Structure 1
Amino acid sequence: MSTTLLQEAQAFQTELIEWRRTLHMNPELDMDLPVTVAFVKDKLTEMGITCEVCEKAGYVTALIGSGKKCFLLRSDMDALPVQEEAEVDYASKNGCMHACGHDLHTTILLGAAKLLKMHEQELKGTVKLFFQPGEETFHGAKAAVAEGILENPKVDVAFAMHVASVAPVGLIGYGGEAMSSVYGFKVTLTGKGGHGSTPEQCVDPINAGVQIYLGLQSLIARECPAAEEAVLTIGNFEAGNAANVIPERAILQGTLRTFKKAITKHMVQRINEVIETVSATYRVQAEVEVLYDVPSVNCSPELIKEFSDSIHALNPDFQILPVYHVMGSEDFAFISDKVPSAYFCIGAGVPDESKRLGQHNPKVVFDENCLPIGAASYAKIAMDWLEKHGNEE
């Protein structure tokens, strides 16, 4: 069956490409994905798979097989607010773009669904398909967990993958700490606006914001152990709209990424202390809003080994390497925090290395030859795990 699954997926690769390009041309954002959800429902229905849509959390779920154990396969569906500049004839036109490859993820899980339905009688348990919105905003997985995605039936193990636009097709990456945590925050500074010629009569929130920015950057250099991995980024700084006006407000937004909860706790405490102290010094009022707080994606070593073996059985020539340890973040962490999980990356880089670009780039292009590999990998991993563990108590 090992090589058969890959051959079967390759046999309908043209269909996979068609699905992917349809999704690519119709990108949608965050939690509201009506066109994407309708497409997924239609394809699952055509396969003879009954599915449900959680209207409150915007996800699609379906069950294949039955038994004591339940294996969750997850793919995300949302796009980014990026104007596409890729030179492909299926480029999006609506100001949004699947620049992170979630259109490939959705297609891969649809392909896995087709394979699993073809082999449903061989399943030694239940496979739960989870098509998730809102990954880019870190809303989707948390909302789905709250709505019971891990229950009815209760999920025993979960798996997901992410395409990698800079890695060659045929490379599969894994790691115990696959992706970092992310703490997102917004700081609103309120001063006293006025004429640029009389700063002494004003309270300048820009000045305070600059000092806060510098203070926060010093935290990494002076309060985070050199051996630890931590990144603090202020990615947004907004204030004013005229050269001769001191504005009333300034806004900073940033993220902190780490792999250890103790480091996160200490750094968050110090972030708030710096903001409070500097704001008082420069006489502005500061309001701190937590935008999101996502744990790191930690993977089970036992599952990594089992799943790597399953993919290797599909094709011994695949490069399956311990190279997945990145400072990017993923809300699959809300699932891996609750059930044993693994999270891999799958190479999707175009053959010409000089044309490979990182994800979230408006010109990024993915190699669609990864689609059958991903679909077969999802199906094989789920089938193998249920074959081995499906009768365990």
Structure 2
Amino acid sequence: MNKTLKRAEELAPELISVRREIHQNPEIGFELPRTLHFVWEKLEAMGLKPEAVGQAGIAVNIGKQGGKTILLRADMDALPMKEETKLPFASENGYMHACGHDIHTTALLGAAQILKEREAELKGQVKLIFQPAEERMTGAQDMVEAGILNNPKPDAALALHVVHGPSGTAGYAKGNACGSSDLFRIKVIGKGGHGAAPHMNVDPIHAACHIVIALEGINSREVHPASMLVMTVCMIHGGTAPNIMPGEVVLEGSIRTMDNEVRSFAKKRLEEIAKGVAAAFRADCQVTFENKGIPPMVNDEGLTSEIAGYIDDLLGEGTAYEMEPMTGSEDFSVISQEIPSALFWFGTGDENEGYLYGVHDPRVTFNENSIHKMAAVYAEAAVCWLKKHENQ
């Protein structure tokens, strides 16, 4: 058996215990004091020297300076939702690791242990980062702005993310692999009044409905049919009573695409159409976008193929498989715009194994036997990549 996988199997019981501790105590966004303390202590216990990066990130380096550097990334934040799994280690604080970030963090801690034990044989340096606020799509950007890609600048980057699929498999898409994400808010401002006298008011609900319909034309009439664009209005808020016309209505939603030019165009046209339609119905309109948003995730084709080979060598031929790009988003994309990167979707159970629910479902559970395999993939990919690129 491959020695990386053998060591990961030996660590499996400990990793499951670590994962359950993190799972039972989820935290969200940048507010991760307990998680940060826990991860920091684990790293120090390995003889490593973690560093704080940005608002709530951790970085640690393993290996020798002066050679190539590969970055391994895991995210740490949970979702603001109540868990319904009834697991003995279920969260009870109103938050939940429903996206599997507890598994990501645990797997990278396992990789850190393996890599530290084999530090002398590393042909370069591994930079491990534990990232906050992925669910808010702001954590990676925060760490990049804090200098995580400097001193040294990594030459390649790898991230693993759990997915509802056969346990121990690793899916990937070459090139554009995940959509961008821009969250928008459209406030339609009218003139409220009695519902029985609409002619004396300016109806923001009427204008808002026409805005929703008009936005559909961006995808169907203004973007090349071969371009992926998903623009979705997911929330409408307005009104307080059935006989009172409100003064304003708020629409919120997201834009996702695989192309930065399409992304910029869609944002521009959303604002123009929303304001133009509102004006046609005598209403005012304010359009805002939350934070900076994130670009599409780009999987470097050479790096992705190379790591897929390492995964097959480690876990068996056919473990890594090519899949369709996802319209969903992952803020590892911010790093992928700066350095060659690869994102793999690691299977943690499907319906055939009794795991009925996917991520972001309050009932989702994961096959914990996948954790040590993810740790092994992180570690083996780093060891092999550094060895291959030592003199390049």
Under TM normalisation by the shorter chain, which class is it?
A: over 0.9
Question: 2 CA distance for matches of 1:35 and 1:205?
Answer: 45
Q: Which residue is equivalent to 1:257?
A: 256
Listed as ranges, the matches of 1:280-291 within 5 Å are: 280-291=279-290
CA distance in 2, matches of 1:326, 1:283: 39
Q: Indicate the percent of aligned positions where both proteins have the same amino acid.
A: 41
Comparing 213-222 with 77-86, greater Cα deviation is found at 213-222
Match of 1:341 in 2: 341
- Quick check: 2:8–2:376 contact (8 Å CA) kept in 1? yes
Alpha carbons 2:275, 2:286 under 8 Å: kept = no
Partner residue in 2 for 1:93: 92
Alpha-carbon spacing, 1:273–1:360, altered in 2? closer, same or farther (3 Å): same
- Tell me the residue number matched to 1:174: 172
Shift of residue 31 of structure 1? 1.2
Question: 2: distance between equivalents of 1:7 and 1:375?
Answer: 11
Q: Equivalences for 1:112-191 in 2 at 5 Å? A: 112-164=111-163, 166-176=164-174, 177-191=176-190
Distance 2:24 2:350 in 1: 19
CA distance in 2 between partners of 1:271 and 1:91 (Å): 41
Q: Which residue of 2 aligns with 1:314?
A: 314
The superposition leaves residues 166-210 of structure 1 with CA deviations (integer Å, 9 ceiling, x where unpaired) of 201121111112211122211111111222222222212111111
Instruction: Establish whether residue 325 from structure 1 lines up as the match of residue 325 from structure 2.
Output: yes
Number of the residue aligned with 2:56 = 58
Q: Which runs of 5+ in 2 are unaligned?
A: none
The 5 A counterparts of 1:219-234 are: 219-234=218-233
Which residue of 1 is the match for residue 356 of structure 2? 356
CA-to-aligned-CA distance 1:332-351 (integer Å, 9 cap, x gap): 11100001111111100156
1:70 Cα offset (Å): 1.3
Partner Cα distance (2:293, 2:226) in 1: 23
- The answer for the alignment partner of 1:298 in structure 2 is 298
Q: CA shift at 1:242, angstroms?
A: 1.8
Contact preservation (8 Å) 2:166, 2:347: yes
**Counterpart amino acid of residue 88 in structure 1:** L
* Deviation, structure 1 residue 318: 5.1
Say which is worse superposed, 113-122 or 256-265, in terms of deviation. 256-265
- Aligned partner of 1:305: which letter? S
RMSD: 1.5
Cα distance in 2 for partners of 1:137, 1:217 equals 26
Measured in 1, the distance between the counterparts of 2:193 and 2:77 equals 42
Is the Cα–Cα contact under 8 Å of residues 172 and 318 in structure 1 kept in the other structure? no
Q: 1:353 to 1:248 in 2, by over 3 A?
A: farther
Deviations 1:282-327 (A, max 9, x none): 1221111111421111111111121111111212255211115100
Moved more, 342-351 or 39-48: 342-351
Q: Which residue of 2 aligns with 1:381?
A: 381
State the SS of the aligned residue for 1:28. Answer: coil
Are 2:108 and 1:109 equivalent residues in the alignment? yes
How far 1:215 sits from its partner (Å)?
0.8
Aligned equivalent of 2:213: 214
CA distance in 1, matches of 2:22, 2:63: 27
Instruction: Tell whether the 8 Å contact from 1:170 to 1:318 is kept in structure 2 after alignment.
Output: no
Deviation at 1:87, TM superposition (A): 2.7
Q: Does 151-160 or 72-81 show the bigger shift?
A: 151-160
Q: After the TM superposition, which segments of 4 or more aligned residues of structure 1 sit over 4 Å from their partners?
A: none
CA distance in 2, matches of 1:254, 1:50: 41
Q: Equivalents in 1 of 2:22, 2:252: separation in Å?
A: 31
Query: How many Å separate the matches in 2 of 1:331 and 1:320?
Result: 22
Number of residue-to-residue matches in the alignment: 389
SS at match of 2:184: strand
Separation in 1, partners of 2:38, 2:240: 43
Whether the aligned pair in 2 keeps the contact of 1:324 and 1:345 (CA below 8 Å) is no
- Asked whether the equivalents of residues 76 and 102 of structure 1 are also in contact (C-alpha less than 8 Å), the reply is yes
Normalised TM-score (structure 1):
0.95
Give yes or no for contact 1:350–1:367 (8 Å, CA) kept in 2: no
Distance 1:229 1:349 in 2: 29
SS of aligned partner of 1:89: coil
8 Å CA contact 2:51, 2:58 repeated in 1: yes
Aligned to 2:77: 78
Q: What amino acid maps onto 1:175 in structure 2?
A: A
Offset at residue 227 of structure 1 (A): 2.4
Contact kept, 8 Å, 1:190 with 1:249, in 2: the verdict is yes
Matches of 2:112 and 2:187, distance apart in 1: 46
Aligned mates of 2:371, 2:58 — CA distance in 1:
20
| Greater mean deviation of Cα atoms: 284-293 or 262-271 | 262-271
Q: Which residue of 2 aligns with 1:239?
A: 238
Q: Deviations over 1:272-291 (max 9, x none)?
A: 22101101011221111111
Q: Tell me if structure 2 keeps the 8 A contact 1:324–1:344.
A: no
Q: Which runs of 5+ in 1 are unaligned?
A: none
Task: Indicate the SS of the match to 1:252.
Answer: strand
- Matched residues in 1 for 2:321 and 2:113: separation? 28
The answer for the alignment partner of 2:192 in structure 1 is 193
- Is the Cα contact below 8 Å between 2:355 and 2:366 reproduced in 1? no
- What secondary structure, in the 3-state scheme, does the structure 2 residue paired with 1:286 have? strand
**Structure 2 length-normalised TM:** 0.96
Output one character per residue of 1:224-269: Cα deviation in whole Å (capped at 9) or x when no partner.
Answer: 3332222111111111222222112211111111112232233222
